[in-house]
Structure 1
């Protein structure tokens, strides 16, 4: 089994024909966050990824195997929400609330894209955004999520959390609280092979509802 252990930097220019002929490795975003991975090339060949910790692969990246062979990364289509809005202010508000929840987001000139989540979809619609569920490659912004921790004593988080929980409750037919108090306890964790930009939530919050 070949080992893939190097990512070519963007400054390294290869002949287009070499990149085009390279076997491809199609991965969803979650898998592209992992520096240690047993994977299968689109040709059927099994390989082992042993990349530097913190590596997040993007569509079009070129990898080098231990035998010198090249492999081209392809972002797999996955279930995502594409968010648009009738005006810039609404789209900005949508981005603010998603950022408040440390949600990985792909930012376009007139859209936002995030992993499919029915609760977030309803929250975004309440803000006035237009939300479509589609199958598309997902390439969010990287390196800006601070490890994905939620800080429960942040007022803006508490407001956003309460809104999301209200939507979640309506989804499941439960009556919910009038207001929520967050007692968050953030701890340091070893994130293993997943870069902080994967946006995973490791916070430990205790939320109490009061009528």
Structure 2
């Protein structure tokens, strides 16, 4: 099958305007985070995705080809852990505290297969099982897409600046910081109190 025209645009699923996709691509969670990549449709046609910026593409979104046709995205089945238990909000908190993508449903949580997290969750009383299914975790809190770690922008927390605690004089040279400890030498000319 001949190649399709390139795509420079993602059409989100509610915005397709009634157009019917001509083909589909099946992509795993990591593959749905892209900027420039050659993809193959289920029918065997290749096309280049060349977006202006790296984007997270969800199941149901479409790549709009230069000729206006659409190729729909389907989430591929991949190894996941299915988490159930009496206190899902508490379990979700522990997963989120580890900055781990999580698919949140009314009666279960779904995360990527990870033996360390499986052990932690079992230790918290969860029932954890293996499955092969599409993984579609929650996007970021600030819009469509993925959570991207713990960066709030330059200077948002000032993690490494200034003393954090007021300490007694005997410990005044010790500055406690978010990422570690640093010893600031006492001023030799400062009088003892």
Does TM, normalized by the shorter one, top 0.5? yes
- Contact persistence 2:92–2:109 (CA under 8 A): yes
Structure having the higher helix fraction is 1
CA distance in 2, matches of 1:147, 1:56: 11
Structure having the higher strand fraction is 2
- Contact persistence 2:139–2:147 (CA under 8 A): no
Distance 1:146 1:134, change over 3 A: closer
Which runs of 5 or more residues in structure 1 are unaligned? 154-182, 186-211
Distance 1:64 1:11, change over 3 A: closer
Give the root-mean-square deviation of aligned CA atoms: 2.4
The structure with the largest alpha-carbon Rg is 2
Q: Which residue of 1 aligns with 2:81?
A: 81
The 5 Å alignment of 1:91-170 reads: 91-144=88-141, 147-149=148-150
**Alignment equivalent of 1:4, drawn from 4, 7, 27:** 7
Question: Aligned residue pairs: how many?
Answer: 149
What SS class does the counterpart of residue 55 from structure 2 fall into? coil
Which runs of 5 or more residues in structure 2 are unaligned? 152-156, 160-177, 181-193
Deviations 1:124-171, CA, capped at 9 Å, x for gaps: 0000011111000011111247521399x9xxxxxxxxxxxxxxxxxx
- Contact persistence 2:101–2:147 (CA under 8 A): no
Deviations 1:184-210, CA, capped at 9 Å, x for gaps: 48xxxxxxxxxxxxxxxxxxxxxxxxx
Which protein, 1 or 2, shows the higher relative CO under an 8 Å CA cutoff with sep ≥ 6? 1
